[in-house]
Each structure stands twice: as C-alpha cells, then as structure tokens.
Amino acid sequence: MKILVCASTTPDTTTKISFVNGNTKFNTEGVSYILNPYDEWYALVRALEIKEALGTGSVTLLTVGPASDEANIRKGLAIGADDAVRIDAEPISAFFTATQIAEFARGKGYDLLLFGKETIDHNGSEVPAMVAELLDLPFVSYASSLQLEGRTAVLDRDIEGGKEVVEAPLPIVVSAAKGMAEQRIANMRGIMMAKTKPYQTVPPVAVDPKTSIAAFELPKPKSGVKLVDADNMSELVRLLHEEAKVI
Amino acid sequence: MSVLVYAESPGGKLKKNALEAVTYGHKTAKALGTDLVVLTIGPAEGAEQLGRYGASKVWQASAGDFDSRQYAAIVAGAAQKAGADVVVLSHSSTGKSIAGRVAVRLGASSIGGATSLPTVEGGGLRVRKNVFSGKAIADCLLGGGAKVISITGNTFPPEVVDANASTAIEQITVDAPAASVKVRERKTVEGVVPLPEAETVVSAGRGMKGPENWGIVDELAQVLGATTACSRPVADVHWRPHHEHVGQTGIAIRPNLYIAIGISGAIQHLAGVNQSKCIVVVNKDPEAPFFKAADYGVVGDLFEVVPRLTEALKAHKAGQ
Ligand SMILES: Cc1cc2nc3c(=O)[nH]c(=O)nc-3n(C[C@H](O)[C@H](O)[C@H](O)COP(=O)(O)OP(=O)(O)OC[C@H]3O[C@@H](n4cnc5c(N)ncnc54)[C@H](O)[C@@H]3O)c2cc1C
Ligand SMILES: Nc1ncnc2c1ncn2[C@@H]1O[C@H](COP(=O)(O)O)[C@@H](O)[C@H]1O
C-alpha cells in the first residue's frame, strides 16, 4: 500500500492574526507554525494505522511550502511518516497547490492520497477535489472513518445532518475529518529517527494560480457586551426580541 | 454568457442552501447583465418553484447516488452548454466535494466559502471569504475566464423575486463518467437543522459538569427551535457527539443567534463562532474571555440561569 499524505503548515491556533503592507500581507512576525491539525491528527495517523495493520507499505508526507516548513515536516516524520517531500514554493492558491501535488503524484502509483478536510488558514476545502480531478480519481470528502476491504475503501462521509457509508475502489483521494483517527504524539525514538529519514526538496512546476488575495481585513470588534441580571431573564428575552431582533 | 447555479438536492429535495445559491446566482446574473440557469441533478422536489427565485431556466440532469467525479462532470458540462462565466455552488458537503473538480474541468478560478456577492474588477471578479477560521476576511480576485464560487451557508437569505413566475424545466443530458463511489448506507437525523445552516444555535461546554446535565440545554434549544452544539473538550470526552463540536477545528457556523453556556471562549472556540450575528454568553466567571466577544452576557450559575431563560422564552412565546 503506497500512501501519500498531503499536509500544509498553518499558524498555531492561538495566533492573533494581523496584517502588514497596507493589509495585503499576513504578519508572520512572532508567529509559530504547526502542521494543519486535520492533516496531522487524522490523515497522517490513519495512513500510519493502515500501514501498520497491513504490515507493509509506505507513507510519504508531502508539503507545498517554503524552507521554513522543514521543522514541521520533520515533526510529521517523527510521528511516523517514512519519507517526506517539500515542493519548494509558497502555496499561493488552491489551484497552484493542487497542481504541484498532482504533478508530483502522477504516475507514482499511490493507492491512497490522504488530505485534511480543510486548512485552518485558507479554509477553502478545495485542494483535494482539485487533485482528484487533475488525476481523474474518485474522491470522498470529510471522511470520519476509512477502512480497507482489499482494494476497496469503505468510508463514513459526514453530510449535513448525518453520515453516509460509501465504498470506492483504490486508488482514491480522501479528505479526513474528526473521528478518522486519534492524534499521536511523537516520541523520542521517532524524533531521533526523523533526522535520518529521506527528505527531498522538489522544484515547483510553472502554473497560473488563477485566484489571488487582494487584501485582508479583520472582523469588526463587538461594540461591547450588555450585561443582563441573572434574575431578569425576561429582560434578556425582550432585548433579543426588540433590540437584536433574533427571536 | 450566463450564470449557472447547481441547486443541490440531497435526499431528493431542494433545501434552504439551494435557494440561497439561486438567490446569489440571481443577484450575480443581474449585476453582470445576464441570465440565470439553474441545474438540478437527480430527484429535486421543489424545482418547479425556482422561477420565483429568479431562475430563467431550470435544467434537470439525471444521475444516481452522489459521486463527486460524475456530478462535477455534469455541472461542468452544463456550465459549458450554458456558456456560463460564473458557476455558483453551496459550500456544503456536496459543494465542497465538487467545487474544486468543476474549477479544474472548466480551467476556472475559484473561491471556497464566499461571504459576499461578487463585484466586477477588470476581466475578473472580487469576492470576499473568511480566512484563518473566521479570524480574518480576505478579498479575493478571481482571474478572467470561468469562475467557480461556492457560497457560505446562512449568509444570503433566499429571496422570492417574482411570486408569479413560472419555471421552464428542461431535461438535459451531459456526458459524464460512470460513478465509482457507491453508497452503502445513509444515516440521517431527521428534523434537526444541520449546524452550518442553523439560524439559532444553543451551545454548551465544560461548565455543564457532565453529560447527564444536558437536559436544560436541550429544553432551551427546543423552545428556540435551535440546533445544539458544544465546545471541543466536551466532544473529546464523548459527553456530546463529534458532529456538535464547533470552533477552529470543528464546524464553523454563523447563525443569527448563538447562545454559549458554560464555555470560556478560548480563541479556537471563538474562531468558529464569532461570525454569529448575535452572541449571548452565560458564564459564572465575569472574567471569562467570551464576554469580550458577546453582545449580551449573563454572569451567573448556568444551572439557575438556563431554566429561567427557558421559562422566560416560553412566557414570551405564549404572549405573542
Ligand atoms: C489545536 C487546538 C484546536 C482547538 N480547537 C477547538 C475548537 O475547534 N473548538 C473548541 O471549542 N475548542 C478548541 N480547542 C480547545 C480550546 O483551547 C479550549 O480548551 C476549549 O474551547 C474550552 O472548552 P470549554 O469552554 O467548554 O471549557 P473551559 O475552558 O473549561 O470553560 C468552562 C467554562 O464554564 C464556566 N462554568 C463552570 N461552571 C459554571 C456554572 N455552574 N455556571 C456557569 N458557567 C460555568 C467556567 O467559568 C468556564 O469559563 C482547541 C485547542 C487546540 C490546542
Ligand atoms: N500547501 C500545501 N501542501 C500540502 N498539502 C496541502 C497544502 N495546502 C492544502 N493542502 C491539503 O489540502 C487540504 C485542504 O486544503 P484547503 O483546500 O486549503 O482547505 C489540507 O487539509 C491539506 O491536506
């Protein structure tokens, strides 16, 4: 079983977001980066579990990003990926990133291409579907469970108000949601081994990103909380009805 | 030139998110001075109503269970047939599974999770979306050629533009690959509005002390017709199901009213809920960070406050 796990890096979830250059650029000063949680906690861990259960196969971690992503890629190796690839480019748009991933994966015979359901910085949920189309593969999104029955993948797919159990033949593209696996913490042995695992850097292919970001904005802060006495819930109801007009 | 909307009908019915997409498509078509074609795939109860929401034409294509490759090919094929510059989808589980595929098929620029109508800029469009899980907003430029826009739920209320309009429905066939994904089983919870579409959400956190205490939350949700949600630790310890977990690593929501009970308001929680139009916080700690992000706050013991609020709402309803 040859598995490719695509993971991006993203600002730590506690990051206070701000922008520079007239609100056109994310202010990276003092920001620490993590692997995108869905990619690390669910896609990567499930890939490792599948490999372990079969007792054979390989898990390759792929990131499209700058050299500063290396520490996080090493973390993915420490958790258990066999080797890692970094495509040396800023992931400037979903289409740009998807093209890099698809061009790398094409013809390499991956059985499973695992993604997170979305990045917590771009929040697009676009890249995996694009990769699937570029490679003409089936795609199941928001999978909260992934089992293999021979060459058939059986997945729970989160849908609005429920779940669908679906099956599809390998090779397949899957995006992972909460429930697919439990987060793993790298141990000392993993961290030591990660230092010597294969890690290659690949140049990007040239492609029109098609979509770009012109400017950023911060949401308007709330004007201040109106406190209502705990004994006076009919006053709260009145405010919600007459002032906020939400009930 | 035209705008094509794919109005999804999971379970064979057009729901609110489909009507939101049609309304968005209608406004976009008007701004671009062009027509709106609405596509449905498979059974789509309610399609005969779409003219009232501004569809000039409704096209129906047939297909079996949802398969992203097949459905995307049908949407892209219909877009080509309509000569569409803009394709609009819902940013739902269906929409997210196909938006990227449709964009690739059409060689289009794209945006996932639009929160504004497009404005014309050069040969392209400018559209906003949330980034950093709701901590910021990005103004995106979609380059020339076709554009695929998937829209955030509960953001563009459906509008009837002509109550008497009839709907011209036409069956179309589009070449598409056979489905490779088969549905084995479907488990849906009937009668509950899914969180991303919910207008009112009642959410509770660790302040509840244990799963056995959720009755007061359910009761409050019931009088409000609200969907229930929870903070992450509560889902992690299985007090509540995973699908209720909202926040940066859960579901992002934007209801009209969000009531947070016994939730401290950690930055990761706020990220997924701060786009709610009105936020009410119930917490016994006046220093809880959530109060800074709230419109209305009640400092007090939730076990006393929540039942009182439920009673007050019942009285309000009875008096209406
Ligand atoms: C990478 C990462 C991602 C995360 N993603 C998310 C996410 O998506 N969503 C999320 O929710 N969290 C997320 N978290 C967790 C987040 O940091 C907080 O730990 C979590 O939101 C806290 O949950 P809580 O408010 O229920 O619990 P607590 O922080 O323990 O707060 C409980 C609150 O209840 C109040 N309370 C207690 N008793 C009563 C009472 N009787 N009456 C009234 N009030 C009472 C307390 O004053 C307190 O404010 C994430 C964390 C990390 C590290
Ligand atoms: N720069 C990147 N490098 C590798 N994988 C990525 C990158 N960006 C996105 N992905 C993958 O695509 C998924 C969805 O990303 P997005 O479309 O940005 O929400 C992520 O969870 C990752 O698995």
- List CB contacts of B29: < 8 A, sequence separation 6 or more: B2, B3, B35, B36, B54
Nearest to A129 among B68, B129, B197 (CB): B68
| Mean of all residue pLDDT scores within chain B | 95
B13 touches chain A (CB under 8 A): no
A158 in Cβ contact with B93 (< 8 Å): yes
Q: Quote the CA–CA distance of B190 and B203 in Å, as a whole number.
A: 20
Average pLDDT over residues A153-160: 92
pLDDT over 80 at B126, yes or no: yes
Nearest CA in chain B to A162: B188
Query: Which pLDDT score, from 0 to 100, does residue B192 have?
Result: 81
Average pLDDT over residues B265-272: 95
Torsion of CA A225, A230, A234, A238, to 10 degrees: 0
B143 in Cβ contact with B85 (< 8 Å): no
Q: How far apart are the first and last CA of chain A?
A: 54
B199 in Cβ contact with B157 (< 8 Å): no
For residue B75, give the 3-state DSSP assignment: helix
pLDDT tens per residue across span A9-64: 999 999 999 999 999 999 999 999 999 999 999 999 999 999 999 999 999 999 99
Q: Quote the CA–CA distance of A19 and B136 in Å, as a whole number.
A: 10
pLDDT over 80 at A161, yes or no: no
Q: Inter-chain contact B112–A126, Cβ cutoff 8 Å?
A: yes
pLDDT over 80 at B191, yes or no: no
pLDDT over 80 at B79, yes or no: yes
Ligand 2 is surrounded, with C-beta below 6 A, by A 6-8, 36, 38-39, 62-65, 91, 94, 97, 115-116, 118-119, 122-128
B122 pLDDT band, cuts 50/70/90, is confident
Average pLDDT over residues B212-216: 98
Query: Which pLDDT score, from 0 to 100, does residue B144 have?
Result: 84
CA A94 – ligand 2 centroid, Å: 8
- The stretches of chain A forming alpha helices (DSSP H) are 37, 45-54, 70-79, 94-105, 127-134, 188-194, 233-238
Name the least confident of B43-57, B163-177, B184-198.
Answer: B184-198
Query: Strands, DSSP E only, in B42-155?
Result: 57-61, 84-90, 109-114, 119-121, 124-131, 136-142, 147-151
B189 pLDDT band, cuts 50/70/90, is confident
Average pLDDT over residues A166-181: 96
Nearest to B104 among A124, A134, A167 (CB): A134
Which residue's CA is the closest to the ligand 2 atom numbered 14?
A: A118
Q: What are phi and psi of A22, to 5 degrees?
A: 60, 45
Please give the share of chain B, as a percent, with pLDDT higher than 90: 90
Tokens (6 digits) for B309? 């609020």
Torsion of CA A174, A179, A185, A190, to 10 degrees: -40
Average pLDDT over residues B269-293: 96
A90 in Cβ contact with A66 (< 8 Å): yes
Query: CA A225 → CA A124, A228, B253, B290, B299, distances in Å?
Result: 32, 9, 20, 10, 11
pLDDT over 80 at B190, yes or no: no
pLDDT tens per residue across span A110-140: 999 999 999 999 999 999 999 999 999 999 9
Q: Quote the CA–CA distance of B16 and B8 in Å, as a whole number.
A: 10
Interface test with B, best of A126, A134, A137 (most B CBs within 10 A): A126
Average pLDDT over residues A132-159: 96
Query: Which pLDDT score, from 0 to 100, does residue A74 have?
Result: 97
B254 pLDDT band, cuts 50/70/90, is very high
Q: Quote the CA–CA distance of A166 and B203 in Å, as a whole number.
A: 30
| Mean of all residue pLDDT scores within chain A | 96
Query: Which pLDDT score, from 0 to 100, does residue A109 have?
Result: 98
A93 pLDDT band, cuts 50/70/90, is very high
Query: Which pLDDT score, from 0 to 100, does residue B173 have?
Result: 96
Any ligand 1 atom below 6 A from CB of B250: yes
Dihedral sign for Cα atoms in the order B188, B89, B37, B255: positive
Provide the ipTM: 0.95
B188 pLDDT band, cuts 50/70/90, is confident
